[in-house]
Amino acid sequence: MRLLKKYGDTLLLKELKASYRFFIKETNVDLKSRGYGLIKDKDMYADEIASIASVGYGLAALVIGTHRNWISYPEAYRRASKTLDTFLNYVEGKNGFYYHFVNIHTGKREWNCEISIIDTAIFICGAILAGEFFQGKIKQKAEELYKRINWQWYRNKESNYFYMGYKPETGFWGHWDMYAEQLMLYVLGVASPTYPIPKTMYDDMKKETCTYEGIENIIYTYCGTLFTYQFSHAWIDFRDRKDENGIDWFENSKKATIANRTYCIKNKDRFKTFGENSWGLTACVGPNGYSGGYGAMPALADVDKQNDGTISPCGAAGSIVFTPELSIKALENFYNHYPKLWGKYGFIDGYNLENGQWYSKEVIGIDKGISMMMIENYLSQLLWKQFMKNEYVQKGLEMLNINKKNIHKDIKEFYV
């Protein structure tokens, strides 16, 4: 495998197009199917299972593909429009929310899973993005889906937190009590024209801070896993925005990413996989299956016990807008020195060198999705520009007092 030009865009474009390919190839495109447009949760081991979050990222893929002439406008428009029809008519859920995993052919619940607020939000963000880019009936359908979501139903009025999950057999459980990937919930929820939540839900979210290895005042998440600092940022452009208490969420994710890398460097003698250019502790597939516990300090969880040496390339890729040089160096290291990390959809989900050499055999939709979106935002800001045009997104940020201070025209200039 040839070495790629240092700090060039060549590898980024390879990973971007390979990730995009997942969402094109692993989609149900049977026009007679009630599951048209549903996308697999992963490319292996669960052929019948679609993830509604994968569909959100898949709608973003259609925007990217059209922009880059990888798919024709009419074909992308048709796919996006019919996908939204599937959610309007067939995907199983309640009060505008959908089951996390559904059958790819029928849209019905699978794996006895929960009705998921966060995965519904990722889907609806994809719908909103597609609506802004394609306009017309797609925008109308996206708004209809958004207006169906009863955010109040998923709210615990006593604690003023969103519940974590819901199953009809057992009811609601858990709470989104501290900062994680859920910023999008408050932006979308507070601006809802049908079932709005109060701004106090954002205010009451716990924002615990910690200083780690000289990186000061990081508002951290429970497991310190990188995706929690990335997912909302893939859609919402938080650059140069601060809330009324001076919190800059973009800068916070930048600090958390640097802390994640610092943790890996600090523990490189403990795990063979960890190092200066091998970092990115985030939820992914490991030797013992999928784990949401891979993470770094600062965290409430005991990350030293939860880590087993597994690194996912999507950790560094998903942080490229925060730490471009560091992320690119990591991706070049993965590509140039670990050829088994590369597959038909670009980087696979993870690797671990602790007991011999272990490489994931699969890729997961949400991990390819965050890599794809963040690389596109780094290269062109396309997805930010389109998503931020939406009136409800703008209204939500305004209502939360997350206000724009300065305007930067180019993400690359932002770091000069």
Express each pLDDT in 260-313 by its tens digit.
Answer: 999 999 999 999 999 999 999 999 999 999 999 999 999 999 999 999 999 999
Say whether 128 sits in a helix, a strand or coil: helix
- pLDDT tens by residue, 238-259: 999 999 999 999 999 999 999 9
Pairwise CA distance, residues 251 & 237, whole Å:
12
- Which phi and psi angles does 221 have, rounded to 5°? -105, 170
Is 2 within a domain?
no
Q: Note the pLDDT of residue 8.
A: 52
Quick: pLDDT tens for 129-151: 999 999 999 999 999 999 999 99
Residues sharing a CB contact under 8 Å with residue 387, sequence separation 6 or more, in sequence order: 125, 128, 129, 132, 235, 236, 237, 393
Structural domain range at position 68: 10-415
- Does any domain span residue 399? yes
Percent of the chain with pLDDT over 90: 94
Q: Does residue 3 lie within any of the structural domains?
A: no
Cα distances (Å, whole numbers) of residue 129 to 64, 124, 148, 235: 11, 8, 17, 8
**Inside any domain, residue 4:** no
Q: Is residue 164 part of a domain?
A: yes
Element (H, E) at 169: none
Residue 105 inside a domain? The answer is yes
State pLDDT tens for residues 357-415.
Answer: 999 999 999 999 999 999 999 999 999 999 999 999 999 999 999 998 744 444 444 43
Domain assignment present for residue 1? The answer is no
Number of domains in the chain: 1
- Would you put residue 343 in left (φ > 0), alpha (ψ -120 to 50) or beta? beta
pTM for the predicted model, two decimal places: 0.95
Q: Are 188 and 396 in contact (CB under 8 A)?
A: yes
Angle of CA points 373, 208, 314, to nearest 5°: 25
The domain spanning residue 83 has which CATH number?
1.50.10.140
In this predicted model, what pLDDT tens digit does every residue of 330-363 receive, in sequence order? Answer: 999 999 999 999 999 999 999 999 989 999 999 9
CA distance 327 to 378: 11
| Both tokens assigned to 238 | 């938080």
